[in-house]
Chain A
């Protein structure tokens, strides 16, 4: 074989520069790859293929740090034997300090290992499993804004015995980009998941609203009922319902499921369907409440319902009421505001009990205003709660106002201000018109 003539210093320098230009070009390729996709799986495979090319190496891998387990798990392992990667992903994890990758993760220091077999830190567990022999390697910690992400390794340079310090510099430059890309991909995944959940919640809220009466106002005979509810987080646990349990009577239910969110909304749907079944043909609200309680005796996680059920006569203005752990209601007459804390039972779903029924008669123009605790437990940005007494005082001041329920909603809104409402808010009014 013909020997190549020795290069002079200028030519060597030129070749070295050309190599650096080529490496820079590949690094730029990696940069554009990284900005081309936010799909984590697609991205990481592409980037590591490029890494192998840039580094002229036999194999490369990325181990991701699992914060829950505190261990490094193989995310990508590329070599000529494709099955090795799958074996490593399924069966090999490393603790901090374990093996060279574990040492790098623990110290957050990059390392060039000339002869892996002679390095005490090297664990040959992965090699034994895959049949691969690690000779020389570079391992670099991947660190993002939120701390350790993982460790990137490049193994066995092609045509050389060991990696150089220059190789380490190139690989570190590459790894800085990989770390940013991995972190961005994770943030992107999280924001996609948040968006998906938000859409699910909006759909759940739409379905939940379909359980409420189709129109918020119901008028029959001399009685008029109106309801208003505002869930705290898209879907909530407050409910109201109007129905005609027997001819000539109107049934009005207001309730509040313990807890919030989707679980409370699902439970609310069950309560409404159970209630509609139980109230049919019964004009004694205590009987309906007791049946509902028996049906809900085995609720999950201690969930319960505070409720008030009133059955009003559409001709006489007589109202029968049963209360299950629900806040007192207001009886607004021509001359006063009465706080009605009737004898009742604890919330539905807690213990076996028969709920009593109380009776009252509305005069023309009288109103009953029923609320859930979200109305008076509303908190402002300083953490102060509005309080039931404030609602009563407001009702007294505005008792002549025909649109008192709307005024109360506005009053709660102006008290809450910019603070997030933590609880659902529901107001139902039962009014005798004439």
Chain B
């Protein structure tokens, strides 16, 4: 997994690629919670290039979402490849996370 933290039109963006699984999710958790500590009003996670996500990866985002909701922020997902979108819709997680088309779609919401 590769994980970059950047900015898009004044919003925090975490860009991911590779497999988000039990081996890589501890590193993702460190970065995600590190960013959330500063309470950004909107945090976008860009999934372009993510090949797989398992339940430990999803749990990391569930934990992040709970923190973000606590301060009334927003956690948005963008550019989900079809295979990742299938995992989210399979497990009805599309009802839990705010899933957007691309970064512009996310910031315009």
Are B63 and A423 closer than 8 Å at their CB atoms? no
Decide if B59 is an interface residue (CB 8 Å cutoff). yes
- Name A residues whose Cβ lies closer than 8 Å to a Cβ of B: 237, 256-260, 301-304, 306, 324-328, 344-347, 350-351, 373, 377, 385, 388, 422-423
Using a CB-CB cutoff of 8 Å, which residues 89-105 of chain B contact chain A? 90-93, 95-96
Given known contacts A302-B66, A423-B54, is B59 in contact with A259 (CB within 8 Å)?
A: yes
Q: Which of A258, A328, A344, A351 contacts B55 (CB 8 A)?
A: A258
Interface class of chain B by DSSP: helix
Are B92 and A346 closer than 8 Å at their CB atoms? yes
Q: How far is the CA of A256 from the CA of B56 in the complex (A)?
A: 11
Nearest to A349 among chain B residues (CB) is B62
Supply 26 A–B pairs (Cβ within 8 Å), ascending by A: A257-B55, A258-B55, A259-B22, A259-B59, A301-B29, A301-B59, A302-B59, A302-B60, A302-B61, A302-B65, A304-B58, A304-B59, A324-B92, A344-B92, A345-B92, A346-B92, A346-B93, A347-B91, A347-B92, A350-B65, A351-B96, A373-B55, A377-B54, A385-B52, A388-B90, A422-B21
- Name B residues whose Cβ lies closer than 8 Å to a Cβ of A: 21-22, 29, 52, 54-56, 58-66, 90-93, 95-96
Q: Which of B21, B56, B95 contacts A345 (CB 8 A)?
A: B95
Given known contacts A302-B60, A302-B64, is B96 in contact with A350 (CB within 8 Å)?
A: yes
CB-CB < 8 A to B55: which residues of A?
A: 237, 256-259, 304, 306, 373
CB-CB < 8 A to A257: which residues of B?
A: 55
Q: How far is the CA of A408 from the CA of B18 in the complex (A)?
A: 29
Smallest Cβ distance from B28 to chain A, in angstroms? 11
Q: How far is the CA of A327 from the CA of B22 in the complex (A)?
A: 20
Smallest Cβ distance from A328 to chain B, in angstroms? 8
CB-CB < 8 A to A302: which residues of B?
A: 58-66
CB-CB < 8 A to A306: which residues of B?
A: 55, 91
CB-CB < 8 A to A388: which residues of B?
A: 90
Q: How far is the CA of A423 from the CA of B93 in the complex (A)?
A: 20
Q: How far is the CA of A351 from the CA of B63 in the complex (A)?
A: 11
CB-CB < 8 A to A259: which residues of B?
A: 22, 55-56, 59
CB-CB < 8 A to A326: which residues of B?
A: 91
Q: How far is the CA of A339 from the CA of B58 in the complex (A)?
A: 24
Q: How far is the CA of A344 from the CA of B91 in the complex (A)?
A: 9
Are B90 and A327 closer than 8 Å at their CB atoms? yes
Extra 13 A-B pairs, beta carbons < 8 Å, given A258-B56, A347-B91: A257-B55, A258-B55, A258-B58, A260-B56, A302-B64, A304-B58, A326-B91, A328-B90, A346-B93, A346-B95, A351-B96, A385-B52, A423-B54
